[in-house]
Amino acid sequence: MEKTRTYQVITYGCQMNVHDSERIAGVLERAGYRPGPELAEVDLVVFNTCAVRENADNRLYGNLGRLAPFKADRPDMQIAVGGCMAQKDQGRVVEKAPWVDVVFGTHNLASLPLLLERARVERVAQVEILDALERFPSTLPTRRQAAYSGWVVISVGCDNTCTFCIVPALRGRRIDRGPDDILAEIELLVASGVQEITLLGQNVNTYRGGADDRDAFAKLLRACGQVEGLRRVRFTSPHPKDFTDSVLVAMAETANVMPSLHMPLQSGSDQILRRMRRSYRRDRFLGILERARRHLPEAAITTDVIVGFPGETEQDFADTLDLVRQARFAGAFTFLYSVRPGTPAATMPDQVAPEVAQERHRRLVELVDQIAWEENKLQLGRQVEVMFAAGEGRKDAHTKRLSGRARDNRLVHVALPEGWTERPRPGDLAWATVTYAAPHHLVADAGLTGLVRTSGGDAWEAAQGDRAATVGLAGPARRPAAGPVVP
């Protein structure tokens, strides 16, 4: 009898990629694979790639190079490359790394086991890239990273034409799922113990639900509020040009929709926003934030900012710093502009020198961190509801703190009181009083009360006996939860 083959999945990029990796793991396990603990010893390594930034390319090919000696020592070991970069580069992956066995795209995750078997039998690399989605990945099995939380895709693809972004060319035009299909998946997840779901799409607020209904996304949020047992609902990422007040009202009036909002800025300069083809200007962006805080005064608002876009002057960058000061973000993903071949920005004149972009990026990060710290200090003394999480934050053996997320998505490290008899499990809830604030987290060393042992905690506990998810995340450091689907 052939031995059970083992695997690891290594993920680069956004939350859509993370969710795709859960589907890849589910497809492999349905085909008989099991997770393996050591990268050098597993029978299969799958890289699920990102094509948005250049450093993802470099890291992929660097890691492929490091695996080459293991592949030479163990010829039966297989290596597969999927995701956006595979969709973009296709046969080039095998040209640069001929020891790769399978290259598959964003639209054919389900084909992976068949392609692996074909490569094993034929002893030749298999490259299969579909140009369009044949069915939503929601129909595929999933091995979730966390038993108490789950991603739910509401649409795939993107109809925007941002000059820096290659995602629409790789993921295709937007296709929406029907609301009944989405809600059925959510109800199944909740029945399995999921307490928190994140609605995913390249641009969630363009969701129309199969009809030309601009309020379809707001209606979907309200429908999530009717799902019994669903405690927390989040979503990512919206786009300012399509954002409607109906979404803010739905968030404010739906108890399980969390007061956290990720609103991508990209630049505070109207000139650069035009060059990016972002279809909104700084005044409209600030207006959205003003209305968001009016409807959701407790909300934590985060953003994305790109530094060094072609043509960015010192004045343009100063405009970005000025808007960041006005916006008072709770956190930000900050990126150095990266040339992506095939995008209009790649051939624009006036490319910013790397050393100039890096110096601007340093100044932006300093400002973002300072504001985030000041905003976090406003939480001191407040009681926050924490959903405990697996793998969040730091390991603190001395204080024995546990980590989780507040309703507004801030990371909170919680100390257990002396004599506390029940240890919260990932997915469980409690209230705690904030005693310390740092730029990227809060500490609650007092006032832990009201522990709720949830079905999510039960599901996490049950999963520990059969912990199958071995999905390695290779995303950027200091990446807060619920980050952007595209930069």
Average pLDDT, the chain: 88
Identify whether 477 is part of a domain: no
Flag whether pLDDT at 271 surpasses 90: yes
Same domain, 265 and 362: yes
Q: Are residues 31 and 106 in the same domain?
A: yes
At 296 the pLDDT is 97
- Picking from 109-113, 179-183, 227-231, which range would have the lowest pLDDT averaged per residue? 109-113
Count of CB atoms situated within 10 Å of the CB of 180 = 11
Same domain flag for 300 and 334 = yes
* Predicted pLDDT at 157: 85
Do 311 and 277 lie in one domain? The reply is: yes
Structure tokens at 128: 């299969």
Tell me how far CA of residue 467 lies from CA of 137, 140, 457, in angstroms: 23, 19, 14
**Buried b / exposed e along 374-390 (16+ C-beta atoms within 10 A):** ebbeebeeebbbbbbbb
Same domain? For 280 and 327 the reply is yes
What pLDDT does 392 receive? 60
Give pLDDT, residue 482: 37
* Res 280: pLDDT: 96
Structure confidence at residue 138 as a pLDDT band (50, 70, 90): low
179-185-191 Cα angle (round to 5): 135
Give the C-alpha separation, 138 to 153, whole Å. 7
Q: Is the pLDDT of residue 414 over 80?
A: yes
Tokens 């990266």, located at residue:
338
Asked if the structure places residue 184 within a domain, the reply is no
Separation of alpha carbons 447 and 436, rounded Å: 13
pLDDT digits 0-9 by tens, 430-481: 999 999 999 999 999 988 898 999 999 998 888 776 544 333 333 333 333 3
* Among 101, 54, 217, 239, residue whose Cα is nearest residue 160: 239
The C-alpha atoms of residue 208 and residue 217 are separated, in whole angstroms, by 7
In a domain, 39, yes or no: yes
Q: For the chain, how many helices (H) and strands (E)?
A: 14, 22
> Of the given ranges (143-152, 180-189, 249-258), which has the lowest mean pLDDT?
143-152
pLDDT digits (tens, 9 = 90+) for 382-399: 999 999 997 665 556 666
Q: Could you tell me which residue, 105 or 294, shows the higher pLDDT?
A: 294
- Same domain for 11 and 121, yes or no, is yes
Per-residue pLDDT tens for 450-462? 899 999 999 888 8
Tell me if residue 69 falls in helix, strand or coil: helix
- What angle in degrees, to the nearest 10, is found between the helix axes of 216-224 and 245-253? 10
In contact, 459 and 150? CB cutoff 8 Å: no
Q: Evaluate if residue 323 carries a pLDDT over 90.
A: yes
DSSP 151: E
The pLDDT value recorded for residue 468 is 40
CA 390, CA 118: separation in Å to the nearest integer? 37
**pTM for this predicted structure:** 0.86
Asked whether residue 369 falls in the same domain as residue 392, the answer is no
- Residue ranges making up the domain that contains 36: 6-131
What is the C-alpha separation between 144 and 483, in angstroms, rounded?
A: 18
Q: What is the CATH number of the domain that holds 408?
A: 2.40.50
pLDDT tops 50 at residue 486: no
End-of-domain residue from the set 70, 98, 131? 131
DSSP state of 381: T
What CATH number does residue 57 fall under?
A: 3.40.50.12160
Confidence band for 420, pLDDT divided at 50, 70 and 90: confident
Token pair listed for 114:
């068949």
pLDDT interval class at 54 (50, 70, 90): low
* pLDDT attached to residue 228: 96
Last residue of a domain, one of 92, 115, 131: 131
Domain count, the chain: 3
Sign of CA dihedral 217, 222, 228, 233: positive
- Choose the weakest-confidence range: 118-122, 350-354, 419-423: 419-423
Q: Quick one: DSSP state of residue 257?
A: B
**249 has pLDDT over 90:** yes
Q: How far apart are CA 85 and CA 304, in angstroms?
A: 21
Q: Is the pLDDT assigned to residue 363 strictly greater than 90? A: yes
- Tell me, yes or no, whether 143 lies in a domain: no
Give the mean model confidence (pLDDT) for residues 369-377.
98
> Can you tell me the distance from the alpha carbon of 389 to that of 482, in angstroms, rounded to the nearest whole number?
13
Is 416 found in the same domain as 366?
no
Beta bridge partners of 13: none
Residue 445 and residue 364 share a domain: no
Claim to verify: residue 372 and residue 402 sit in the same structural domain: no
The answer to whether position 333 is within a domain reads yes
Q: Tell me which of 68, 98, 131 is where a domain ends.
A: 131
CA distances from 352 to 39, 322, 339 (A): 39, 20, 11
Q: List pLDDT tens digits, range 205-243.
A: 999 987 788 899 999 999 999 999 999 999 998 999 999
Tell me if 435 is assigned to some domain: yes
Residue 169 inside a domain? The answer is: no
Ramachandran class of 282: left when φ > 0, alpha when ψ lies in -120 to 50, beta otherwise: alpha
419 with 358, same domain? no
Do 374 and 387 belong together in one domain?
no
Per-residue model confidence (pLDDT) at position 18: 86
Q: Is 70 inside a domain boundary?
A: yes
Q: Are strands 446-452 and 429-433 parallel, antiparallel or unpaired?
A: antiparallel
Alpha-carbon distance of 127 to 102, in angstroms, equals 6
Q: Which CATH number goes with the domain that contains 274?
A: 3.30.750.200
User: CA–CA separation, 273 vs 265, rounded Å?
Assistant: 9
Residue of 165, 440, 201, 155 lying closest to 275 (CA atoms): 165
* pLDDT tens profile 15-29: 888 888 888 999 999
